[in-house]
Amino acid sequence: MPSIGISTLDRRRPPTPRRPPTGCAGDPAKRSIALLVVVLVLLGAIAARTGYLQVVASDDYVAAGLRQRITPIALPADRGSIFDRNGDELAMSVPSTTVWADPLQVVHPQEAANVLAPVLEADPVAIEAALRTKGRFVYVKRQLTPEMGTRVAALFRDITMDDKGKPRHDHPLKGVFLRDEPTRVRPAGDLARALLGGVDPDGRGYAGLEDQYDKPLLGTPGELLIERDLKGNTIAAGEQRLNPALRGADLVLTVDRSLQYEVERVLGDAVASSQAKGAMAVVMNPRTGEVLAMANMTAGRDGAPPVPAGSNAALVSTFEPGSVNKIVTMAAAIEEGVHKPTDVLVVPDRLPVSVHTFSDHDPHGPMSWTLADILSQSSNVGTIMVAQELGATRVDEYLRKFGLSSFTGLDFPKESRGSMLDLSEWNGTSIGSIPIGQGVAVNAMQMLGAFNIIANKGVAIPPRLVRATVDGQGVEKLTRPGGSRKVISEATAQEVTRMLVRAVADGTGDKARIDRYTVAGKTGTARKPSVTSRGYVEGAYMASFAGFVPAENPQLSAIVVIDEPVGGIYGGQIAAPVFAQISQYALRLLRIPPPPGPAGAPR
Amino acid sequence: MSPQAASAPIGRRPGRVDGGEARPRREHQRDQHGVQRPRLRVVDDSNLRLAARRKRVRFLGVVAAVVVVASLFGLAAFQAVLVQGQVRVDTLANQMAEEQAHYQQLRREVAELESPQRVVDEAVGRLGMVKPDRVEYLTPPEGATSIGDRHPSVSDDTSHGERPWASVKPFLGAGS
């Protein structure tokens, strides 16, 4: 029934507005609270993150920020120069251009290689291979010559900049860069090459004086920290910290560049004319121990002219000194009172000692010779007779006193101390061989040191190669000479000097004579010991001459050693003239005047 | 005192003409002694002080604004000058580095030109000089001072060079 239906409808409650789904969102208050909670949570998260950034990790982020803005610029320390005694450069460091690449940034390796190769005078394939290597840094070519550096800089300008001087974004050399790098140069070429040694591309000395004095020469690298913007411009009033590089100390050698040149030139001529394997010479001031020149020449390959050797044989290599060693025996005999220079000995030309018979160079009958005659004639037999009277112990003692088998004190890298048998190891023939310079190995510097003792009135003065160091501020520090020691008396030294003067005036060393000067010296000719077997190399000799001048007042001493000359093999023939040539030049260069009056006997 | 006069509106000057009203005649009152006096009232000056303070504050505000604006401009100008200066410093630093490198190259060139081999090559090859066969010595006349006594020898510090060390060194490594 409709009425029922109507009444039913009427009884219904009026419809209430539809409510949204129950929950917090439905209630504005709850919604606000929820929103507040969300906001608070977000704010809390932000606060926590801020606290973490500002408090916990602040240092890391500050550092990261600085790393982004601050560009560290390495300031390489200039390696100190090496000067001769007059301040002329023998070795110096100059800036040069180095080409390097970041292979990750290189976009066109082949194109870049083709562009660079002609300018760098290098193989494009090798350059391309370098540009394709993995990693962030590779050298393309280091330490270019000034001319090449200029050409490369121009090439970079042309390729990386447009006509208006603005950088191009895409170019073949993308990822390839230039940087300045110091390079070591020797303005006088290979002069004193073995003495100076070498420096590797990283500026570290690896041989010679460059190696020995690497630490003071090196200096201390510095750093400049600059804050830069995105474009690479320095931010004004930004961070700037300068830790300046300290230049390495300079070395001032005792060597004279002009003399060194002349010694090398004369030695080169001697090597060429005697077809020798090489030659070495040392020139010194016996009074101060200063080395004025130290030259090592070696024969050129395939008939090329001789060139300065890579190894400083005068200190590094040893040889049997031969007859130049006889001065030690004579000095010992006189010092010990065994003989006076005027004592006469009857000297045969052959003398058996144990199982070996020693002989003089030229056959002769028994000769009545004084000690001076024995030395001037370079008689092996006479010297052995004197040594036998002296006895093995004293011969050994004086050889060591004269500096044989001891380091010279120069501390040169790879310096040889020579070799001498211990007295207990002597055999029956040692008293015959060792006094005449066989079975003993010395370097040229040691042998010249023995002559310097005679020249210096019996006093041994340690040699010096470095006169001073000059620090980065220009303060010169003279190297302290080593202590001197008395080896023989002045009287003995003078007696031996007279004997040496005779050896040059009318003995085997007559080709060492110098007009108007009195030369004291001794020749030496020794066989070369075999390095592969016992005994000596057939036909291989070391010809030498050592001496000093003026004998009256020695200011210059020198030793010349010719390695394996062909034809004339005697020291008197080929080493003595070289000594004369070198000494004559040195006397004039160093302004050592001839003694007044006629040259001849020393006073 | 009449109550009317006493209750005069504050801040309103007596006798002031409002609108088109005629200026009222100045009223006088007599004191207890019968002396006639002008009508007086106590003026509250707090409004005046407030106005003055407002004026001062306004003035100071303007001054502060000007100072702030001027400072900002000054700061901007200073920053510009600073940046310009920095650019100049960078340019000079680059120039100095270039000049230093140039100096080092010149040092090298001089050293190479002075090398004995080059001097000999020039002397022999270009100038046609020859080495003498022998050295000629000049003997001083008798009575002359012995040269041996005063002649520099190899042991002398400066040796044969024309330039003593101290005069050479100051020019080396400059700026490095």
Q: A32 an active-site residue? A: no
> Taking 50 as the threshold, does the pLDDT of residue A6 lie above it?
no
Query: What pLDDT does residue B28 have?
Result: 64
On chain B, the residues whose CB falls within 8 A of the CB of A85 are 159, 161
CB contact under 8 A, A516 and B134: no
Interface predicted TM-score (ipTM) of this complex, two decimals: 0.75
Pairing of strands A556-563, B36-38: unpaired
Residue B66 sits at the chain A interface (C-beta within 8 Å): no
Q: How far apart are CA A194 and CA A267, in angstroms?
A: 14
Query: What pLDDT does residue A12 have?
Result: 52
Query: What pLDDT does residue B3 have?
Result: 41
Check residues B47 and B75 and name the one with the higher pLDDT.
B75
Mean pLDDT of chain B: 73
> Taking 50 as the threshold, does the pLDDT of residue A2 lie above it?
no
CB contact under 8 A, B146 and A596: yes
**For residue range B113-170, what is the model confidence (pLDDT) as tens digits?**
999 999 999 999 999 999 887 777 777 777 766 554 444 444 444 444 444 555 554 4
Q: Please state the φ and ψ torsions of residue B107, each to the nearest 5 degrees.
A: -60, -45
**For residue range A390-420, what is the model confidence (pLDDT) as tens digits?**
999 999 999 999 999 899 999 999 999 999 9
3-state secondary structure of A215: helix
Q: How far apart are CA A256 and CA A591, in angstroms?
A: 13
Residue A233 sits at the chain B interface (C-beta within 8 Å): yes
Check residues B165 and A37 and name the one with the higher pLDDT.
A37
On chain A, the residues whose CB falls within 8 A of the CB of B89 are 234
Q: How far apart are CA A105 and CA A428, in angstroms?
A: 76
**pLDDT level of residue B21 (50, 70, 90 thresholds):** very low
User: How many CB pairs (< 8 A) connect A and B?
Assistant: 131
Q: Give the pLDDT mean for A12-24.
A: 56
DSSP assignment of A264-288: HHHHHHHHHHHT-SEEEEEEEETTT
Q: Give the pLDDT mean for A233-242.
A: 74
| Partners of A300 in beta bridges | none
CB contact under 8 A, A595 and B148: yes
> Taking 80 as the threshold, does the pLDDT of residue A364 lie above it?
yes
**Of A572, A551, A434, A562, which Cα lies nearest the Cα of A500?**
A551
Catalytic residue (one of A81, A323, A416, A583): A323
**Partner B, chain A 170-189, Cβ-Cβ below 8 Å:** 180, 185, 187-189
The helix (H) or strand (E) run that includes residue A95 is strand A89-101
Residue B85 sits at the chain A interface (C-beta within 8 Å): yes
> Taking 80 as the threshold, does the pLDDT of residue A179 lie above it?
yes
Looking at CA atoms only, how far is residue B106 from chain A in angstroms?
10
Q: How far apart are CA A353 and CA A405, in angstroms?
A: 24
> Taking 80 as the threshold, does the pLDDT of residue A234 lie above it?
no
Residue A237 sits at the chain B interface (C-beta within 8 Å): yes
Q: Give the pLDDT mean for A474-481.
A: 85
CB contact under 8 A, B114 and A185: no
Query: What pLDDT does residue A281 have?
Result: 97
Stretch among A277-291, A385-399, A408-422, A530-544 having the lowest mean pLDDT: A530-544
Mean pLDDT of chain A: 89
CB contact under 8 A, B135 and A256: no
Residue B104 sits at the chain A interface (C-beta within 8 Å): yes
Question: Residue B111 — left, alpha, or beta (φ > 0 → left; ψ -120 to 50 → alpha)?
Answer: alpha
CB contact under 8 A, B169 and A250: yes
**pLDDT level of residue B83 (50, 70, 90 thresholds):** confident
Residue B92 sits at the chain A interface (C-beta within 8 Å): no
Q: How far apart are CA A204 and CA B169, in angstroms?
A: 23
**Of A104, A116, A96, which Cα lies nearest the Cα of A160?**
A116
Site of tokens 């006093």: A459
Q: How far apart are CA A505 and CA A523, in angstroms?
A: 12
CA-nearest residue to B93 within chain A is A234
**pLDDT level of residue A325 (50, 70, 90 thresholds):** very high
**Partner B, chain A 537-576, Cβ-Cβ below 8 Å:** 555-556
Provide the angle, in degrees to the nearest 10, between the axes of the packed helices A490-505 and A444-455: 110
**Of A481, A283, A482, A320, which Cα lies nearest the Cα of A404?**
A320
Query: What pLDDT does residue A253 have?
Result: 95
Site of tokens 């208050």: A29
Q: Is A416 in contact with A311 (CB distance < 8 Å)?
A: no
- Share of residues in chain A with pLDDT > 90 (%): 64
